[in-house]
Structure 1
C-alpha cells in the first residue's frame, strides 16, 4: 500500500513539473516582461487551491461533508488567488483577482476532487483485493490443516508395536513418518509442489497405513506420464486416499485400493477406487465423508474453471476421479484468476 502511495506522489510531481514548464513556455512566448513572476504566481495559486482542497478531502474521507467542510471550502475559494498576488510583481489588480477567482479556482477545485476520488478508489480496490487474498489464503491454510489426526495416533501406536517387537520395519516406518510430517508442516506451505514430491508423500502415507495389514500391499498405486514437469497444489489428493481407506472393509485383499495418476500434457487425472464396506445398522456418514467437501472447496479456490470431480458409487465400489486442466499456466495468471473469483 505504501508503495502505491509513493507512486501517486511521483505522478503528482511529474504532472506539476510538466504543467509548470508548459505554463512558463506559454507565458514566455507572449513577450510579457513579467512572465517569470506571472508563471510563479500562477503555479503557486494552482498548488494552493489544489492541495488545500486535496488535504481537506483527505481529512473528510469516509465522513459526511458537514458545515465545517463547506466553510473551509469557501475559504479556499476566496483566498485562492492570493498566492498569485503575493508572488506577482505587478501592483494589485482587481481584474486579475476576479479572473483567477472565476476561472482558476473552480477548475483546480474540481481537479483536486478528481485526484482524491481516483486515489481513494484505487487504494480501496487494492485493499479489498489484499483482504480477499488474505481470506483465501486463510481458508486454504485451514483446509490443508484438516488432515485426520487419528491417522497420526494410529501410526504412532503401530510404530510403538514394531519397536516393542524389535521388528526390522520399525526404523523405516519412523523415517517415513518423519518425511510425511516434514512435507505436511514445511514443504506444503508453497503454492505448488512437484507432482513427484506429492506422490512420494502419498507413498509414505500408504506405507504407514500398510502397517495395519498383515498381507501384501492393499494399495495398487501407478503413475503414468511426465510427472517431473507437473506442479500442483500440495495435499490435494490425501483426503481422497484417506476416504478410500476409511470407507473400505476392515479386511482388504492385495490391490483392493486402486490409485491411478496420469499426466497428459497440461492435464492431470487422479483416480482412486475402493470397495465399499457393508452398511452398518447406524451409519455415521455416507461414503466420501467430510473429505470430499474439503477437496471441493480447495479446488474451487485453487483451480476455478479448470477441474472436474466425478464420483461413481456402484454399491460395490466407490470411485472418485479428479481431472485438472491448464497446469502449465503461469502462477501469476492463476493468482489473478483466484482473486477475481
Structure 2
C-alpha cells in the first residue's frame, strides 16, 4: 500500500480546520496550521504535497503566504488551492497571478474539495515524474557526452602517437606544445580583440586539436624524417608535404561524419597552416597575416619555441633565454606580433610547462 499524500490546511478558524480535516483525512495525511507563519515553519520540516490556504488571516494573509511558498526553490512546485469567501474576479486574478492552482469558494463543498485535491495531486505526480525523468535523461546525456569526449581524447592521443613513433626524438613535444597553446590562448582571451572568439569551449578545442599538428609526418619517408643531418633542398620540399598530408588525413576523417565536428576543423587548420609565416613566406599556401587561422598562429609559436629548447641529433638544446631571442627576431616576419607580445608576457608559463613535461 502506497504512502498517503500530505495536505497542509491553513486557516485561522479552528472549526474550518476541523471540517476540512474530517473531509480529507480518509484519503490523505493531514497537517494543520492556524497562521501563515506556522504553515511556513511546518513546510520547512515536513513533506507537503498540496496546500489548502485561507486568504483572510491576521498577521500574514494568504497572498503573502503563497508569495513566500512560490519564491522558495524547495516549495515552488507545490500546488496551492485558495479557500475563501472572497469571490470577486479581481480576487481570483490576484490569486492566480501569485501562483495559485485553484480557487474554491466558501462555504465548503466536500465533493468539490475532494475532487480538486485529487486532481491537483495527480497533476503534481505527473509533473514530478516528468521532472525526475528529465533529470535522469540529462544525467544520461551528460554521462554519454563525457564518454564521447573521453573516446575523442583517446582517439586523438592514438593518432598523435603515430607521429611520435615515427620520430623518437620528439619525446614529450606533443604534450608540451598542447599546453603551450592552451596557455597562450587563455592569456589572449583576456584581451578585448580575442575575447569573443576565444571562449572556454574554443580554447578546449585548441587544446584537444594541437596534438595532431604533425600527424602528416607519418607519410614522410624514414630517410628524410630520421635523417641526423641537414636536409637537402629536395628533401626539405618532401618534408614540407607533411602539412598537406596531415590536412588530408583529418579531412578524410571529417568527410566520414555527416555533421561538422569542430575539433576536426581546428585540427585541419593547425596541421595545414602551422608553418605559415606572418609575412607570407611560409608554407604550404603562403598565407599572410590574419589570413592564417588563429589556432595555427598559436601553434607556430608553441612549435618553434619547443623545437629551439629541445635537443636533436643535429643540434643541442637552446636555453630559454636564447629561444626568446630567436623568437623576438621573428616578430612581424615569422610570428603574429600581438600574439608574440602575449607570449613574452607569459613566457614564465612556457618555461614551467617545459620543465614539467621535460624529456
Query: TM-score w.r.t. structure 2 length?
Result: 0.32
TM-score normalised per structure 1? 0.33
